[in-house]
């Protein structure tokens, strides 16, 4: 039995008030892990006070909404931060006002924080970590349909609908378990993948105008001007990140890839699937694209340079 998992379970059992945070600009895994955890704990331990805090994203409200809580709730509380590699990206700065802090994350360790830190990049998503955690402790923790839906949304999104290389047999086992709660995968998929009219038009522009480097990397730069022109916001644009993933004829061998660059909101996913290393030093300038070694199948969308810069300033990639 993994010690960290045991320590986390003990802490959850011990505290009456549990406040769950995740990263700013939340994606479906940030919200899915945060809200899945909240729903599972509320279902399993109804006497506990469990809260999820942070900004809300209209498009992802189907996963659940946030709690607005006063500062004094943090007194003697356990705070759990999901899916967040570094402190500056935690949504709601009160994360350190509790009595104990736990980090649960699947990104490569960038900044250690928390009294307990469970970081394991072998998981596809923070949602998968939590499903795995509670499956190991069935005596105190019970999944329900609502929690399963949240976790499913997180896993679906972070695995690119189970097409990325981070989809392991364990991932599918977790999903298989979640499916027994009568969730409706098609509804979750549709909710995650619905695109507004303007985003669809931008996507068409990407497909018509993407460029390819001499290393065989397909990319497209979305500038702020382009966003304004199409009337698309950053979150909507971030959902287009897989647009070039089906471009298979740029160079032979491209079809085997699962790599992509997701730079909106400071994310870069899976550029180096074998190392999973942070690429912070590489995003200073657009020219790094030219310097990338030729890895069969790499494709990416680059989004506004401004975001790449801010990702660099945060000096970490997820
Ligand atoms: Mn994640």
**Hey, what are 295's tokens?**
């890895």
Q: Does domain 3-193 bear CATH number 3.50.50.60?
A: no
Straight-line distance from the first to the last Cα atom of the chain, in angstroms, rounded to the nearest whole number = 27
pTM metric for this prediction: 0.74
**Hey, what are 81's tokens?**
């931060």
Please, are residues 126 and 30 in contact by the beta-carbon 8 Å criterion? yes
- Numbered ranges of CATH 3.90.1640.10 in the chain: 3-193
Residues 6+ apart with CB under 8 A from 154: 28, 29, 30, 31, 32, 33, 36, 83, 125, 126, 127, 128
Going from the Cα of 167 to the center of ligand 1, the distance in angstroms, rounded, reads: 13
Please, are residues 318 and 268 in contact by the beta-carbon 8 Å criterion? yes
Q: Would you write out the chain's pLDDT as a tens digit for each of its 318 residues?
A: 579 999 999 999 999 999 999 999 899 999 999 999 999 999 999 999 999 999 998 889 999 999 999 999 999 999 999 999 999 999 999 999 999 999 999 998 889 999 999 999 999 999 999 999 999 999 989 999 999 999 999 999 999 889 888 899 999 999 999 999 999 999 999 998 877 789 899 999 988 988 776 656 667 777 778 888 999 887 777 777 667 766 654 332 222 222 333 332 233 333 332 223 333 333 333 444 544 444 444 445 555 433 333 332 222 222
Phi/psi at 177 (5° precision): -65, -45
Please, are residues 69 and 167 in contact by the beta-carbon 8 Å criterion? no
Going from the Cα of 118 to the center of ligand 1, the distance in angstroms, rounded, reads: 14
Cα 1 from chain centroid (whole Å): 26
Going from the Cα of 192 to the center of ligand 1, the distance in angstroms, rounded, reads: 15
Going from the Cα of 277 to the center of ligand 1, the distance in angstroms, rounded, reads: 15
């Amino acid at each position: 039995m993994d010690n960290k998992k045991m320590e986390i379970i003990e802490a959850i059992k011990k505290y009456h008030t549990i406040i769950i945070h995740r990263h700013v600009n939340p994606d479906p895994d940030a919200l899915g892990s945060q809200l899945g955890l909240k729903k599972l704990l509320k279902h399993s331990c109804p006497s506990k006070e469990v809260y999820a805090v942070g900004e809300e994203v209209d498009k992802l409200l189907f996963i659940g909404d946030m709690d607005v809580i006063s500062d004094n709730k943090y007194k003697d509380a356990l705070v759990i931060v999901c899916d967040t590699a570094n402190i500056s990206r935690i949504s709601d700065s009160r994360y350190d006002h509790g009595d104990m802090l736990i980090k649960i994350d699947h990104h490569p360790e960038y900044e250690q924080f928390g009294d307990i830190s469970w970081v394991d990049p072998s998981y596809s998503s923070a949602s998968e970590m939590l499903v795995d955690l509670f499956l190991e402790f069935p005596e105190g923790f019970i999944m329900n349909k609502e929690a399963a839906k949240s976790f499913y949304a997180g896993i679906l999104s972070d695995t690119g609908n189970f097409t990325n290389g981070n989809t392991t047999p364990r991932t599918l086992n977790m999903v298989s378990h979640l499916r027994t709660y009568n969730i409706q995968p098609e509804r979750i998929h549709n909710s995650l993948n619905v695109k507004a009219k303007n985003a669809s038009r931008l996507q068409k522009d990407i497909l018509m105008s993407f460029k390819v480097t001499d290393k065989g990397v397909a990319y497209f730069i979305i500038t702020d001007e382009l966003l304004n022109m199409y009337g698309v916001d950053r979150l909507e644009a971030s959902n287009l990140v897989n647009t070039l993933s089906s471009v298979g004829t740029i160079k032979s061998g491209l079809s085997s890839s699962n790599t992509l660059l997701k730079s909106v909101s400071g994310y870069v996913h899976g550029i180096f699937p074998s190392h999973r290393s942070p690429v912070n030093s590489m995003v200073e300038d657009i020219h790094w694209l030219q310097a990338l070694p030729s890895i069969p199948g790499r494709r990416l969308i680059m989004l506004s340079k401004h975001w790449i810069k801010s990702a660099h300033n945060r000096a970490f990639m997820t």
